Structure 1
């Protein structure tokens, strides 16, 4: 548990993350469903829009003034700076949804210290939702710091009673775990592909009990991990190592985590 001085410092960083998210929301919503939205394809064949780049550039500009000594890692730009403090940004998580006019997308902002996520803000303006957390400070959801309610994971104790959220079955097939994942889907009480950030925020709220994806990048996971863990859940890579530094993510209410790992680990 961080000491009082560390918590005070994280409070300042969390407030800054909210200001960054406010600016990001303004930019992204002004481009959502815009008729002149510019979309290109990156080398990995994923789409990027002018909103992605504008949001990340705006966040980087503010950080360069407010936290000039901190490093920055973003999905669309080059890494800058070096040191124990690093801001991790996904300007629009769910770009394919954004492009098609589906409101399930969010800006993910995290502060990592010594490779541990200690602050996370997940802002989904088209849904009118935001989630946030800081290490030792709990997880919350609401429209602002002043209008918030705590997030808590569920108490579901058996996989057979659990609700599972995922992104795409094809990802599991490509990862060589297609059969194991289908078996898991058949074992749970309910499965839905809410996808992307929303799967993990539903775990933090207790509406979903399990969420997992076999292939993710740091910017996809850094903010999500601290929200899930501060809500009382577990967030690990595919081998069970805590945090967002692995190749993929398993998230749960904590009580189901070992069972989740056991069911999906054999193929690895």
Structure 2
């Protein structure tokens, strides 16, 4: 099995750079925000973080491709294995621009279409999460202050903490009623949103995180962390491949039930 220790070390270096830029702009009075064509916001911090990460990767991994949310695939992969980095410079931009500390930089390494390493850095929370194939999943303030993490052992919906993206997005996806029934059946439900629900899942603090619409940069870094923590990660069709679409992430024990309910629209009570 390939070792991704050097890639994880580089991801931490990239995150250090990202954190220094984003924290300097967080809650700044002169933060510049504009709307992208899809009407989602982007700040000058988003762009500065991605540019800095790209500059470091150009020096450290010149043959690896780079795909970022703000500047697209400007660097196609040239080396063996079709290795490319996928960057979300600030996941949770709406939180960032409103002064809510739940936002982070997402850094993933893919080989072909398969995410093999991922790191999430949330500097305003003072926490990072990372994982790579064969290396486990970890969390802490930095690489030298880390604890190995794992998903929960919860097996019943009546005992489960259920996390989700906003309900209007599920209404738009035509799956609002099964979502509401899952919320009724679960022990607890909260909409933490963005990367944070997935990281709480990887730590065993919640048991399910679902999202009906996302892009590759939203999810690529999360997959190795969740799966190395022992969880399961698919889209709504049950496919493992990442990409534009949806996400169901669970501790594994609840995956079949959640997938069946949301895919088929069936929502029986399981108290």
TM-score (structure 1 length as normaliser): 0.96
Residue 238 of structure 2: aligned partner: 240
Residue 23 (structure 1) aligned with residue 21 (structure 2): no
Give SS of 1:265's match: helix
- 1:267 is displaced (CA, Å) by 4.2
Q: Distance in 2 between matches of 1:258 and 1:246?
A: 22
Give SS of 1:30's match: helix
Q: Distance in 2 between matches of 1:87 and 1:36?
A: 30
- 1:244 is displaced (CA, Å) by 2.3
Residue 78 of structure 1: aligned partner: 72
Residue among 195, 198, 201 paired with 2:196: 198
Residue 32 (structure 1) aligned with residue 26 (structure 2): yes
Q: Distance in 2 between matches of 1:118 and 1:138?
A: 11
Residue 138 (structure 1) aligned with residue 136 (structure 2): yes
Map 1:1-268 onto structure 2 (within 5 A).
Answer: 2=1, 6-7=2-3, 10-79=4-73, 80-83=75-78, 84-267=82-265
Q: Distance in 2 between matches of 1:114 and 1:178?
A: 34
1:177-213 per-position Cα deviation (integer Å, ceiling 9, x unaligned): 1111111111111000111100000000000000000
Bigger drift between 129-138 and 73-82 goes to: 73-82
- Unaligned residue ranges in structure 1 (runs of 5+): none
Give SS of 1:180's match: helix
The alignment covers a number of residue pairs equal to 262
Residue 269 of structure 2: aligned partner: none
Q: CA RMSD in A?
A: 1.1
1:100-152 per-position Cα deviation (integer Å, ceiling 9, x unaligned): 00000000000001211111000000000100001010000011221100010
Q: Distance in 2 between matches of 1:245 and 1:56?
A: 20
Q: Distance in 2 between matches of 1:102 and 1:75?
A: 21
CA contact (8 A) 1:225 1:243 kept: no
Q: Distance in 2 between matches of 1:71 and 1:267?
A: 39
Q: Distance in 2 between matches of 1:48 and 1:245?
A: 21
Give SS of 1:214's match: strand
Give SS of 2:77's match: coil
CA contact (8 A) 1:132 1:141 kept: yes
Q: Distance in 2 between matches of 1:153 and 1:243?
A: 21
- Structure 1 residues 122 and 13: alpha-carbon distance in aligned structure 2, compared to 1, 3 A threshold: same
Q: Distance in 1 between matches of 2:241 and 2:6?
A: 22
TM-score (structure 2 length as normaliser): 0.95
Q: Distance in 2 between matches of 1:82 and 1:14?
A: 19
